[in-house]
Chains A and B, each alone.
Chain A
Amino acid sequence: MTEIHKHWWKPLALTGFVATLATTLAGCATAPMDSASLTPDSKPLIPGKEYMIMANRPHQIHVVEMENDTLYTSCDMPGDFGPGALIMAPDNHTAYMLTNHYKHIYGIDLDTCELTFHAAMSQAPNERTISMMSFALSPDGSELYSLQNPTILNRDHYRVQDTRLSVYKTADGMNAQPVRTFDAPRQVTVMATANDGSLYMAGADIYKMDVHTGKVETAIPARNWQRPLYAPPDVLAVWPIQSPRNDFTILYVTAKFQDETYDMNTAEWIYGYFNVDLETGETTTTDFAEFTEIFFTGMRSPNDGNLMYGVLNNLAKYDIKEKKQLKTSTLDHSYYCLAFSHDGKKIYAGGTFNDLAIFDADSLELIGKLELPGGDTSPTTLQAFVR
């Protein structure tokens, strides 16, 4: 049996997830606007302490204190849950969540559980607009960027509109409207801002946008890369994970052919990653392993940039330079999303069920498991931060 055949089910796994997205997306067209203060017994976070956030059903954000890996506090969120993608603001006490069937972004102050920000992705009454996990904050936290996919709902037909990048002021509160909008490429998912304010977005290529002019350039060619004997990469990045290294890391899968006959049967199947160093803007395209299984998310160690970790049905660790798998740990169920503690000693896996699995980043041994109140976490994002 060939390697390709052995992994026939893997594309299905991805399609399955996207089908789940479709189900969630196809929900109600209108979103309820709940009251701003939802959790009276909130518990302020302690400055200097490290926390992790993740979201789950029915509609809450949990804050886990990472020294002892215990649940510190939980905040209720408005609307229907899903996808529950989260990013942390640079102020380290405001979390932003994409929810309500991918149609609304909320900001919440985790110290008080008070909502401070809300933007509907739709900008007209007959428009239905989603964001495919595509949002980020400016380095100073004053602006929120979102790539939006609008559709005009006419009485007896739909018209898909061009995708756009909308810019919001985070200070604009609960009915924020875009202060700037720009044309933007289709098929964009996750994004991140660099220290210089540039917005990087994962789409057909990794794009770099000037958020003041809307000018888009290719930061890293992906679909359009020119690597002799390489097939175009397959990329599906939908978790906007923020890395302690200040990396914007996107995994890819590709095939490298033996020669110009481009024979798939003898091609080498490869895992690699695109990286933007958000401090310097430096970009890299690096193969790091044989492709043997799917990972939904991957991240480099905060301590050692030569170590890549990936998770889905296994948690695995790779030596990037040697292109070698160092260790793998079997899991009791699938986990979609990874996060590191800032010291790089612990690695966390979440998503799917309502639990957070904690591993020793060196040995990959399971060192803890925290069950969270509420239902499944769906494709939530784990974000670690120091208050």
Chain B
Amino acid sequence: MNNFMLKPLGLSLLAASLGSMASVASAASVAEQAEGILNKQCVACHTREGDNQWSRISYQRKTPEGWLMTIARMQVMHGLEISDADRRVLVKHLSDTQGLAPEETDGYRYVLERRLNAQESLEPALLAEGCARCHSGARFKLQRRDEAEWEHLAHFHLGQYPSAEYQMLSRDRDWFPIMMEKLVPMLGEQQPLQSSEWSSWQQATKTDMKGRWSVAGHMPGKGDLTATMVVTPLAGEDQFSVSMSGQYADGTPLQGSGKATLYTGYEWRANLTIDGVRMRQVFAVRDGQLTGRMFNRNDESMGADISAAHMDGKSTLLAVQPGYIKAGTQSELMLVGTGLSGMPTFGKGVEVVSIRKDSDRRMHVTVRASRNHEGVNAVSIGKAKGVELAVYKDIDQVNVVPAYAVARVGGNGGSTNKLFARFEAEAWSAGKDGQTGTADDFRIGMVPATWEARPFDDIAAADNDLGFAGRLDPRTGVFSTADAGPNPQRRMMTNNAGHLTVTAQVQDGNQTHSADAELIVTVQRWNNPPIP
């Protein structure tokens, strides 16, 4: 068997397996079909233990992506032969019956949402050193097992990858005994199979996805967006067609459609084509609202943070766009939500000048902010609230987000796409005390900036990383990565890797603020599973 099978199975798996199951819908329920597959194919290795219970399989809970990776590993490493359709049935069934409660995914959804520049900090350090030096911490944080199952996992890791105990952060200690004696019991205690959250979630009323949704979002490099999303049930359990129609703040339209599956009663996964780009939605749905990310399947750096509410008659506020106003100025803001009616309030020092409503999900409000007040104001309309407006006198500090980014070369005839990097300038106010870095600082929001890249250090300068690694758009902050492959023009024929400093300049009246981020441009991620 060839280990490189992992490569083509990587992200295409995500699209193929977590795509629509409409094609496999039949008279038999997903549960009946899945039990049939388990009893026919999985029992080759997994012992059947009474009704609906199989060794190993029945003692774990994880996300849809987690189950997909498990089954894919059975294919790649253990010779399982299974059709894509059957695999979709298994992933759906196992995520529904042995998934995670929404609360159990809190804090780790970035990995499902493919926010690849997320910085993890795991406590205790042993978790980072023992596990997360090879893969994300979220990969195991999004699993639940009892101690005996965690022990199986540890044995699998060293058995499959014997070099694991020779790597940095292993070879300085008695790695395997530490894994067995400390890490395995710790995981069993912290992330056991059974939980009250999961018991409650299984009993909880789930959101009916069918209908119209009001959508608010923000895409780095592009700006704010609003849309309506229409969800229509298809044949098959939890299968839907989905369409989106809206626009970005700069007026460009946003249009597209696709298909979706709802896993575990709240894990929404959809593949859509939006304005000609293959996008994926990874949302968590709770109480008629959803949050998550919609991203480009070919370049996951491109994506929008999304929130949406079901247009079921309730009044909901999703966003105010933009989320800031300068004290002493007048400007038009847009409220996005559902059932918006009545007079909105924007808090102390902010007066409504005029209102223009183009639907009950979007309200354009011209407001004037007093020059004497600054701070974070609560916004409300009727009973709907939960949105804030930053009122600032001056921008006192700018941060580049992300402060540390990784882009990857790609294309050039290879099997792996380029991964770009997208930067934004985040403005902060020093608050009343005028001192940055104190408790009364408040975030203003993402503001326009001009962008420039330079070599990170002398080595990067000597190797002309700036000339080879790609190009930073001075207007949008989007870094377009260079082609993959050895470059004969470079020292040691190396590829177009680079180490750059990215600088944002933000103009606020007569003041110019600048801030830096670090950008690593590196090689392709060859092994690119759904959960890195």
Contacts and interface: CB of A to CB of B under 8 A. Distances in A.
B163 A18 contact: yes
B69 to A, nearest CB: 15
B439 interface: no
B154 to A, nearest CB: 8
Interface string A210-244: 00000000000001000000001011101000000
A332 interface: yes
A204 B162 CA distance: 16
B432 interface: no
A26 interface: yes
B155 A132 contact: no
Interface string A1-30: 100001000010011001101110111110
A28 B162 contact: no
B163 A157 contact: no
B12 interface: no
B172 A18 contact: no
Interface residues of B, number: 35
A186 interface: yes
B176 A186 contact: yes
B354 interface: no
Nearest to B170: A187
Nearest to B54: A156
Contacts of A334: 492
A25 B163 contact: yes
Contact of A22 (B156, B163, B174): B163
B182 interface: no
Contact of B159 (A27, A153, A156): A153
B45 A159 contact: no
Interface residues of A, number: 43
Interface string B170-208: 111111100000000000000000000000000000000
Given A18-B163, A22-B163, A156-B55, A313 B45 contact: no
A246 B241 CA distance: 72
Contacts of A313: 492
B86 interface: no
A44 to B, nearest CB: 37
B394 interface: no
Name which of A19, A153, A234 has the most chain B CB atoms within 10 A of its CB.
A19
Interface residues of A, dominant DSSP: loop
Interface in A81-132: 102, 128, 130, 132
A155 B152 CA distance: 12
A132 B1 contact: no
Point out which of B1, B47, B56, B172 has the most chain A C-beta atoms below 10 A from its C-beta: B172
Given A6-B457, A331-B492, A159 B155 contact: yes
A158 interface: yes
Interface string B475-504: 000000000000000001100000000000
Contact of A235 (B45, B46, B171): B171
Contacts of B152: 157-158
Interface string B423-461: 000000000000000000000000000000000010100
B160 interface: yes
Contacts of A157: 56, 152, 155-156
Contacts of B457: 1, 6
Contact of A21 (B1, B156, B160, B163): B163
A96 B382 CA distance: 82
A289 B16 CA distance: 54
Interface in B86-109: none
B252 interface: no
Given A1-B457, A234-B168, A236-B171, A160 B159 contact: yes
A156 B45 contact: yes
B174 A204 contact: yes
A28 B160 CA distance: 11
Interface in A174-204: 186-187, 189, 204
B333 interface: no
B496 to A, nearest CB: 16
B158 interface: yes
Given A23-B3, A156-B55, A187-B175, A15 B159 contact: no
B167 interface: yes
A73 interface: no
Contacts of A329: none
A133 to B, nearest CB: 10
Contacts of A186: 165, 174-176
B121 interface: no
B23 interface: no
Given A6-B459, A132-B163, A156-B46, A332 B155 contact: no
Contacts of A23: 3
A57 to B, nearest CB: 14
A26 B161 contact: yes
A189 B156 contact: no
Contact of B167 (A15, A27, A102): A15
A156 B168 CA distance: 30
B79 to A, nearest CB: 10
Contacts of A21: 163, 166
A132 B166 contact: yes
B517 interface: no
B254 interface: no
Interface of B: 1-3, 45-47, 55-56, 77, 133, 152, 155-156, 158-168, 170-176, 457, 459, 492-493
Interface of A: 1, 6, 11, 14-15, 18-19, 21-23, 25-29, 102, 128, 130, 132, 149, 151, 153, 155-160, 186-187, 189, 204, 223, 232, 234-236, 238, 313, 331-334
30 contacts: A1-B457, A6-B457, A6-B459, A14-B168, A15-B133, A19-B163, A22-B164, A25-B161, A25-B162, A27-B2, A132-B162, A132-B166, A151-B159, A153-B159, A156-B46, A156-B47, A156-B56, A157-B56, A158-B152, A158-B156, A158-B159, A158-B160, A159-B159, A160-B158, A186-B174, A186-B175, A187-B170, A187-B174, A204-B171, A236-B171
